[in-house]
Every structure is written in structure tokens, then in C-alpha cells.
Structure 1
């Protein structure tokens, strides 16, 4: 029964994560609840093993359906890989909970901006930038560091950044975010493999369920477009705000 619950959770996490990120809100709490006696780094590594499979699947599916802006997504992903590794290494020097108030404020800003700007990310509007690849790299490095160090809201911040900085619509921003998410997941998974390891059998089973969810999620995003992604983004951001507020004030 518990394993069936974990597989269902991995499926749902893959579906949500493929569109706007935030699958960890579903998958990780389930792992922590089912295996209270297993060390947290092992559970985090198992979560990343499942997530990276779904993320890779989402990138592949998006690339078949739409034209991913590779010239921006690739440098952002390369920088995010380095940033995530640096963020993970920094955890031992500064408790991640120290970021919680700032992240809560940023999520409120993202949610409010998206809510009060109905046309935000509705259409592609190419912004003229002097050094777009450098800007994309800075975005990837910053968000990658944050993902390696703390994590909640990474997908939402990436989508918001790609839309706001480069004029992408929600669909292309979501696809670009998935490539960056793959890089950050790879860095995190490598870190956990080198240190605590993962639960391989469970992780691979959850990875299969996560891939299935990611395939359905990408199809829904492509079929229903920017409006669907916008509302799901608002829903995930709202849940993140409530969770972080609860953690902060409880």
C-alpha cells in the first residue's frame, strides 16, 4: 500500500513538475512520511533520482512539440549545473532555513505579479538584450545556486525569469525551465550519490511513474497552452507560499 502511494505520488509529481515545477511538494513529503527511519540525504537522493528521469522526459517531449530557445536555455543550464553544485556545498556553512523569509517574499511577488498581469507570458515578445547569453547564464547560476542550497519554487522562479527577462511565453519558458531543472537535478543527484547514496530499487520504480506523469504533463501544457500553465503556476506558487508561511510562523 505504501509503495503504491509513493508511485502515485511520483506520477503526480512528474505531471506538475513537467509544467511549472514543484513536484517535490508531492514526492518528498511522501518519502519522508513512509521512511521516517531512513536518513534524510538518502531520501533526498532518491527523490532526485526519480525527478531527473521525469525532467529528462519532459525536455525530450517539449523538444518534439515546440522550438525550445536553445541559445538561452543551454548557457542557463550549464551555469545552473555549477551553481547547484556550489549551493549544495554551501549548505554546511549556512542553514537553508535562513533563506525562508526572503523566499516567501519573492514568491508573493511572483504570484502577485502573475495574478495582476493577465497578459504576462501570454505571447512571445522578443526583448532586445545586449548580451542575452550572459544574462541567461546569470539567471541559471543564481537559480541553480538557490536550488542546490534550498530549492522550493525553483521552477516558478525560472519560468518567471524567462518570461520577464526574455519575453518568452509561458509554454517556451516552461520548456526552457525544464532543461535548467535537469542540470540542477543532475548536480544534486551527483552530490547525493557521492555522499549518502540512494534507494535504487524504489528510486527507479518512482522514476518510471515520474516519467509517465511528465509525459502527460507536457502534453497538457502543449495542448492547453499559456493559460493552463499560468493557472497551474499560480496554484503551485500559492501552495508554496502557504507551506513556507506555515514553516516560518508555526
Structure 2
């Protein structure tokens, strides 16, 4: 039975708080919590499963906060969230059978591309633009693709959803962030259910970190609601770049 000392649990809860704050604004919370879990001695597969447990609390809190502020109608996202959930479940269940190394090679460069897009693309603000595809096509294509990826690997899921909402659905930065959270929550739940067949999460630790995630997500989403794109864009660029560099470091 794997156990952690009380001081390590407190440190991990602190990491989860910071992750919840960052993730509620731009995604990328796993960049903080997964390495923290592994540095604490948690085996990699158990760390990934435990990360799903705590991550869903932060995404859920952020989704509720943005909805209360009027930036998203969660009822209209029920079907996309269901697709994200199912796709993530299958992604996690098939993670050991698919050539994930092929995806990992290109992932850092894709994240750097996303960071450059949000850093230098003119006109990216909180104003909605013209949509390029219909809501149904968006729901039927991009949502399950990103959800499946979240179950399969996970890093950068929030950034990929954000990119889709901004470039395809035509949403402004703040609205895109708000609509990302319920889909990310659903993919976390689906991924967790898929993972439990291959690994047993540390439930007590995951729940403790989840409480800290909720607090960080509450603070981050409230701040993002007030400041909007002026806060979300730089945090997103930083998170995507940092995640890409971390992945390059791990795989070299």
C-alpha cells in the first residue's frame, strides 16, 4: 500500500491550489500536479490516475463559477460534455494499446504553435468573431477528438479546446475559456473511469488535492471573469510554452 507523509500531502495540496488557479484561466494544471505527484514518489500510472481525481474538482468549480457569471449556459453543453466523457473513457481504456509515443513526439511543437498563435494573432480579445463551422459539426468533431486525447495522454487539453472555440466557433477569449471547463470536467471523469481498469488512484490524496484545486479554481475563474483576455492570453501562452518545454525535457 503506497502511503505519503502528512507534510508531503500538504505540499501536494499547495501544488493543487496553484494548478487549479492556472487551469481555471488557461488550462495546463496537470503540468504542475503530475510532476509534483511523481516527485513525491507516486508511481507514474498511479500519478496519472490520481491527477484525474483531483483535476475534475478544479474543472467543475471553474465551470460553475463561469456559469454563475453568465459566460456559459451549462445546460446547452450537456451533449458536448457527454461526448467528451465517452471519448475520454475510450482514450484512457486504449492508452496501453495505441502508439502514444508517436503523438508525444509532435505534441511539444503543437503546444508551442498554440502559444505563438495566442501571443501574436491580432484581434484576439473578448469579442466574438464569425464562426467557421456549425455548433453541431464542432460538437461532433473537435469535442470527441480532444476528449479522446485527454483520456489517452492529457497534457494541453484545455489549450486544444480553447484553440477550437476561438478559431472554429468564433468565441472571444473569456467565452472560450468558460466553455472549455465543463468539457474538460467531463473528459476528466471519463478518463478517470478508463484509468481505474489499469490503475488504482490514491483516492484520499486525490480528494484532498481536489479540495485545494477547487479553491484555486474559484479564485482563478473569478479573476479571469473580471480581467478577461488581458489575463487569460498571457497565462495561456505561458502555460502552453512551459508544458511544451517540460515535455521536451522529459523526452530527450
Hey, what's the Cα distance between the residues in 1 that align with 2:110 and 2:99?
Answer: 19
Local SS of the residue matching 2:233: helix
Aligned to 2:138: 135
CA positional deviation for 1:24 = 0.6
What whole-Å deviation, never above 9, does each CA across 1:182-238 have from its counterpart, x for those lacking one? Answer: 111001111233443222222211111110001001011101111110110000011
Tell me whether 1:119 sits opposite 2:123 in the alignment: yes
Aligned to 2:66: 62
Q: 1:158 aligns with which of 157, 161, 165?
A: 161
Matching of residues 1-250 of structure 1 within 5 Å: 1-36=7-42, 39-68=43-72, 70=74, 73-127=77-131, 129=133, 131-248=134-251, 250=252
CA positional deviation for 1:74 = 3.5
Q: 1:123 to 1:226 in 2, by over 3 A?
A: same
Where structure 2 has 5 or more consecutive residues not aligned to the other structure, the ranges are: 1-6
Q: What is the RMSD computed on CA atoms of the aligned residues?
A: 1.8
TM-score, normalised to structure 2, is 0.90
- Aligned residue pair count: 246
What whole-Å deviation, never above 9, does each CA across 1:84-142 have from its counterpart, x for those lacking one? Answer: 1221122222242221222223222212222221422441124264x322222311101
Q: Which moved more, 1:5-14 or 1:133-142?
A: 133-142
Q: Which moved more, 1:101-110 or 1:226-235?
A: 101-110
